[in-house]
Amino acid sequence: MTDSQSHDAAPQPGTVDMITTTLLKNTLYNPLRLAGGLLLFLLVYVAVTNIASGNYTLEAFVRQSITGLAQGGIYALIALGYTLVYGILLMINFAHGEVFMAGAYVGFFAINAMEQSGMLADHTFLALLITLMVGVVASVTIALLLERIAYRPLRGAPRLVPLITAIGASITLQQLFLRLFGPDPRVYPRVNLYILPGIFRDLECAEVSGAQVCKGLDLIDGLYRVDVLGMNLRIRPVFFLVAFFAIVLMIALWFFVQRTKTGKAMRAVAEDKNAAALMGINVDRVIATTFVLGAALAGAGAVLFALYNQQVTPFMGFVPGIKAFTAAVLGGIGNIPGAMLGGFFLGIVESTGPALLGISSQLKDVIAFGLLVLILIFRPTGIFGEVLAEKKA
């Protein structure tokens, strides 16, 4: 055989060769991605095996997902604050979890005072609205103080400096509330908020003066057994209320950022602070507004969280804050819809993951942060990608 014939007979590179080359390249130059892929394959295999063997049912998935919706809604509300501040300042505000905690803590004193005065029982909706507003105002106040005292003087410093400052501010706020109010948990009172007695005629019924009186659906403290498509579910309406409230607030925030004059100013500052200042935009005011919006969402989420979780402590904001940061990274830091969807996704995975993998529910934090690691390995910009100015990306 001649050299020419040997050259003609040589196999031409095809699809199989390209795939093999890519796999080898990934193995040699990115072994972390290979390890992540193997771990992901193992997790999927265990989950599929549990489903196929009947150890995990659709009923269990639906029941746990409902709980995950509420937790995911809380994560989403906190994550929106992270993503707003990062989009403007490229800074991770690790004290945002304590902004969340302050709203729940101060809200406790408001709702406790209204319970003792009888207003909570007589005018439940108004009392809850006041508690929500008090929590929001408390979180906004803390956030504005942080921005003015801790962050504004360091605005021109290297990015590591405000990050370390944020961690210090987080510890300071924890210790401040601990010294002021003590380590003992504060317990929110049980709240009954009844709606639509004419529609839910068979709920919360009792004999009053010889007549049957039905109060209707209890949105906050109610727990009901419901049969849906043959599944026997125990549903708390407050979980759906939290999820609905989170979605409404996210839509309102998105509309504010995209459609209002202040929102346009925020986007301009995110693109280029110096150019925005030259165009007459008050950069300090826009940044303060960003902190206010993020804190207001966190404060509202804190009161909702406390209404069904009930206990509040000086350290209650740390873990939800870290989880919300994880949700923001999952969705794509700086991306408002991404932060929302990342929060719901993380909440549902956290609720369903342990049972789906056949492990203890105490390992749900391992699942949450393991998911963050996998996302950072395969898609560092998050599921929906970062939203940053071109020169910053």
Q: What is the pLDDT of residue 177?
A: 93
Q: Is residue 40 part of a domain?
A: no
CATH at 250: 1.10.3470
CA dist 192 and 383 (Å) reads 39
Whether 384 maps to a domain, the answer reads: no
Q: Judge whether 35 lies within some domain.
A: no
CA distance 328 to 314: 23
Distance CA(211)–CA(150), nearest Å, equals 61
Question: Do the domain assignments include residue 340?
Answer: yes
| CB atoms inside a 10 Å sphere around CB 61 | 18
The secondary structure element, H or E, covering residue 268 is helix 261-271
**Cβ-proximal residues to 297 (8 Å cutoff; 6+ apart), any chain:** 77, 78, 80, 81, 249, 253
Task: Record the tokens describing residue 271, joined without a space.
Answer: 């693109």
Residue 232 lies in domain: 46-194+224-378
307 in Cβ contact with 241 (< 8 Å): no
- Of 100, 99, 105, 113, which Cα lies nearest the Cα of 182? 105
154: which residues sit within 8 A by CB, 6+ positions away?
161, 162, 165
Query: Do residues 339 and 362 lie in contact, with contact meaning Cβ atoms separated by under 8 Å?
Result: no
Is 127 part of a structural domain of the chain? yes
109 lies in a domain?
Answer: yes
Residue 186, H or E segment: strand 186-187
DSSP of 294-318, one letter per residue? HHHHHHHHHHHHHHHH-EE-TTTTH
Answer yes or no: is 211 within a domain.
no
Check residue 294 and give its pLDDT: 93
For residues 115 and 189, is the Cβ–Cβ distance under 8 A?
yes
Report pLDDT for 369: 83
| CA–CA–CA angle 309, 138, 248 (5° rounding) | 65
Mind listing the pLDDT tens digit of every residue in the chain (393 residues)?
A: 444 444 444 444 455 555 555 555 554 456 767 776 777 778 788 888 888 887 778 888 888 888 889 899 999 999 999 998 888 888 888 899 999 999 999 999 999 999 999 899 888 899 999 999 999 999 999 999 999 999 999 888 888 898 899 999 999 999 999 999 888 899 999 888 888 887 777 777 776 666 667 787 888 888 888 887 777 888 888 899 999 999 999 899 999 988 899 989 998 998 888 898 988 899 999 999 999 999 999 999 999 999 988 889 999 998 889 889 888 888 887 788 888 888 999 999 888 888 888 888 888 888 888 888 887 777 777 777 655 544 443
Q: Tell me the one-letter amino acid at 355.
A: A
- Number of structural domains (the chain) is 1
Residue 17: predicted pLDDT: 57
Query: What is d(CA 337, CA 251) in angstroms, rounded to the nearest whole number?
Result: 9
φ and ψ at residue 124, rounded to 5 degrees: -60, -45
In a domain, 114, yes or no: yes
Beta-bridge partner residues of 208: 211
